Amino acid sequence: MIEELLSKRLVFVAGKGGVGKSTIAAALASVGAQRGLKVLVVEVDGKGDVASMLGLARTSFVPQLACPNLWVMEMDTEAALAEYLRIYVKVPFISKLPGLGRIFDFVSTAAPGVREILVVGKLCYEVRQNTYDLIVVDPPASGHVISQLGVAGDVGQLIQLGLVKNQTQWMLGILADPRQSVALLVATPEETPIEEALDLASRIRTETPVHLEGVVVNRRFVSSFTGVETEVVDEIRQFGDSIIGLNEVLGASDLFARICRRHERNLMFLREQLGDSLRIATVGEYFGTMEPKDLVEEVAEVLEVELW
Amino acid sequence: MKSLLESLLARERVFVVGSGGVGKTTVSAALAIKAAIERPLSVLVVTVDPAKRLASTLGVRALANAPRRVELDGLGAKGQLWAASVDMKSAWDDLVLQFSPDEDTAKRILSSPIYHNLSAKFIGSYDYAAVQVLAALTADDRYDLVVVDTPPSRNALDFLDAPARLREFFSSPLLAFLTLPRRTRFFSAATRPFYLVADMVLGSAFLEDLTDFFSDFARLAPGLVEQSRSFSELLTVPATGFIAIAAPYGPSVDEAHRLLQALKTRDLNAVAFIVNRSLPGWLFTSQAQGARVWLETEAPSALAERFARDSKANAAVLRVVSELVFTHEQFGRARDRELVDALRDVGIDLFEIPIAESELDTPRTLAALIASATRTQR
In this prediction, residues B39-60 reach a mean pLDDT of 78
Contact A246 B313 (CB under 8 A): no
Query: What are the extents of the domains in chain B?
Result: 4-282+340-375, 283-338
Which pLDDT band, with edges at 50, 70 and 90, does A182 fall under?
A: very high
Name the fold adopted by A2-306: Rossmann fold (3.40.50)
| Whether residue A243 has pLDDT greater than 70 | yes
CATH number of B4-282+340-375: 3.40.50.300
Per residue in B147-182, pLDDT tens? 998 876 555 666 777 777 777 777 766 667 666 665
Contact B361 A191 (CB under 8 A): yes
Q: Measure in Å the smallest separation between the Cα of A36 and chain B Cα atoms.
A: 31
The pLDDT score that the predictor gives to residue B228 is: 80
Neighbouring C-alpha atoms within 13 Å toward the C-beta of A29? 35
Contacts of A157 in chain B (CB under 8 A): 113
Give percent of chain B above pLDDT 70.
83
The complex scores an ipTM of 0.80
Cβ–Cβ under 8 Å, residues A165 and A159: yes
Contact B334 A288 (CB under 8 A): yes
Contact A245 B291 (CB under 8 A): yes
Which pLDDT band, with edges at 50, 70 and 90, does A81 fall under?
A: confident
- Determine the Cα–Cα distance for residues A26 and A61; give it in Å rounded to an integer: 18
The pLDDT score that the predictor gives to residue A233 is: 93
Query: What are the extents of the domains in chain A?
Result: 2-306
In this prediction, residues B79-106 reach a mean pLDDT of 89
pLDDT greater at residue A93 or residue A217: A217
In this structure, of A125-129, A164-168, A178-182, B283-287, the range with the lowest mean pLDDT score is: A164-168
Which pLDDT band, with edges at 50, 70 and 90, does B185 fall under?
A: low
Contacts of A277 (CB under 8 A, 6+ apart): none
Q: Measure in Å the smallest separation between the Cα of A88 and chain B Cα atoms.
A: 9
In this structure, of A116-120, A145-149, B253-257, the range with the lowest mean pLDDT score is: A145-149
Cβ-defined contacts of A59-64 (< 8 Å, 24+): none
The pLDDT score that the predictor gives to residue A98 is: 57
**β pairing state of B80-85 and B270-278:** unpaired
Cβ–Cβ under 8 Å, residues A72 and A81: no
Contacts of A85 in chain B (CB under 8 A): 197, 201
Contacts of B287 in chain A (CB under 8 A): 244-245, 248
For chain A, positions 249-268, list CB contacts with chain B under 8 A.
Answer: 249-253, 255-256, 258-259, 262, 265
The pLDDT score that the predictor gives to residue B31 is: 96
Indicate the average pLDDT of chain B: 82
For chain A, positions 71-110, list CB contacts with chain B under 8 A.
Answer: 84-85, 88-89, 91, 94, 97, 99-100, 102-103, 106-107, 109-110
| Whether residue B191 has pLDDT greater than 80 | no
Contacts of B113 in chain A (CB under 8 A): 157-158
Indicate the average pLDDT of chain A: 86
Contacts of A19 in chain B (CB under 8 A): 20-21
Cβ–Cβ under 8 Å, residues A151 and A120: yes
φ/ψ region of B154 (left if φ > 0, alpha if ψ in -120 to 50, else beta) reads: alpha
Per residue in A250-297, pLDDT tens? 999 999 998 899 899 999 999 999 988 788 999 998 887 788 889 999
Amino acid in the structure at residue B125: S
pLDDT greater at residue A138 or residue B195: A138
Q: Measure in Å the smallest separation between the Cα of A70 and chain B Cα atoms.
A: 24
User: Nearest residue on chain A to B246, judged by CA atoms?
Assistant: A18
Cβ–Cβ under 8 Å, residues B276 and B370: no
In this prediction, residues B307-312 reach a mean pLDDT of 72
In this prediction, residues A199-228 reach a mean pLDDT of 90
Give percent of chain B above pLDDT 90.
30
pLDDT greater at residue B337 or residue B182: B337
In this structure, of A100-114, A280-294, B27-41, the range with the lowest mean pLDDT score is: A100-114
Residue B345 buriedness (CB in 10 A; 0-12 / 13-18 / 19+): exposed
The pLDDT score that the predictor gives to residue B335 is: 84
pLDDT greater at residue B117 or residue B149: B149
Q: A201 — contact with chain B (CB < 8 Å)?
A: no
Contact B214 A85 (CB under 8 A): no
Q: Give the number of other CB atoms < 10 A from CB of residue B322.
A: 12
pLDDT greater at residue B47 or residue B56: B47
Contact A141 B20 (CB under 8 A): yes
Contacts of B45 (CB under 8 A, 6+ apart): B28, B29, B31, B32, B33, B81, B82, B83, B84, B146, B147, B148, B149
Contact B121 A244 (CB under 8 A): no
- Determine the Cα–Cα distance for residues B377 and B366; give it in Å rounded to an integer: 24
Nearest to B327 among A110, A146, A252 (CB): A252
The pLDDT score that the predictor gives to residue B154 is: 58
pLDDT greater at residue B234 or residue B77: B77
Contacts of A282 (CB under 8 A, 6+ apart): A189, A216, A217, A218, A220, A222, A267, A306
Per residue in A129-170, pLDDT tens? 999 999 999 987 656 777 778 877 777 776 666 667 777 888
| Whether residue B271 has pLDDT greater than 80 | yes
- Determine the Cα–Cα distance for residues B49 and B52; give it in Å rounded to an integer: 9
